[in-house]
Amino acid sequence: MERRQLILPRNINLAKHAGFCYGVKRAVETAKKLKTENPYKNIYVLGELIHNTDVINELESIGIKTIDEIPGNGDGICIVRSHGEAPEVIERIKNAGYELVDLTCPDVKKVQQKAVELAKEGYFLVIVGKSEHPEVVAIKANAEIWCENVVVANSIEQLKPFEDKIKSHKKTGVVVQTTQRFETLSPIVDYLTSISKELHIANTICASTAMRQTEAKELAKTSDLVIVAGSKKSANTTHLAEILKNITKTIHIENAKEIDDYKDIIGQSINISITAGASTPQAVIEEIIKKLETI
């Protein structure tokens, strides 16, 4: 349900599209429900369920453990995080004896499915995103089962080494990390259009990300300062901050504790807007607002 725009003293505007998106909300609520329904079972998440330290700490406090490696002998439930996993990793979880619960975001699943579809149809596949991001790692792993011609690029420069291969290939397909910026996708599409024989673009930037970015840009135009709340590890949050810095003064903080570091900037600002990444809890946003009211 959309949050109404909140107008506070000192002209502080809270974006409507701020905080948990559907996929993140679903993952966090389902994980908590699993623990409630299975209080005596071990529950693990392979990698951080979402990119937010406050949420990970909360899950740890109720007995949901974040792990980096799959324990050898299955004992309990293992959750696949919202970013998804490679098929090989999912098989390892099952083979180790764990009860697997897949909480991959539905929008991320759609990208995986589209990537596989293009790979099966013989496209040279370009994944627009950050190669080290877990969502992109999983998308690439799913596609590579079906073809070898899969590359990840976040810029034209990263595609240049593959130019001859793309030119010689019959057709090129593109999928996009769900939290990417359209500003990143657009020049890559222009470049690929100039060198591809046939080009199929699947703009898989999720609707929540697109709405969040569009609204934040409009707020920034009438703001002296925009505060972006969320983890520095969150791709959609860092992209949001990058976009807004080109429009107005912008600071990116993880939680209310960091407000003190920016007291001077905040003190000089009359119109302040707040937005937040898709993995930022409502409680964190509310704490930031309360802290701002004390300055």
Catalytic residue among 37, 135, 218, 258: 135
Please identify which residue in the block is written with the tokens 């979402």. Answer: 50
The yes-or-no answer on residue 218 being catalytic is no
172 within 8 A of 200, measured Cβ to Cβ: yes
Please identify which residue in the block is written with the tokens 């439930």. Answer: 77
Q: How far apart are CA 214 and CA 83, in angstroms?
A: 23
Strand (E) or helix (H) holding 153 = strand 150-153
22 within 8 A of 109, measured Cβ to Cβ: no
Q: How far apart are CA 47 and CA 44, in angstroms?
A: 9
Q: How far apart are CA 21 and CA 136, in angstroms?
A: 19
Residue 87, judged by CB atoms within 10 A of its CB (0-12, 13-18, 19+), counts as middle
User: Could you please report the per-residue DSSP string of 35-102?
Assistant: HHH-TTS-EEEES-SSS-HHHHHHHHHTTEEEESS--SS--SEEEE-TT---HHHHHHHHHTTPEEEE
Q: How many CB atoms lie within 10 A of CB 34?
A: 17
**In 3D, which of 163, 158, 161 has the Cα closest to residue 130?**
158
Catalytic residues: 135
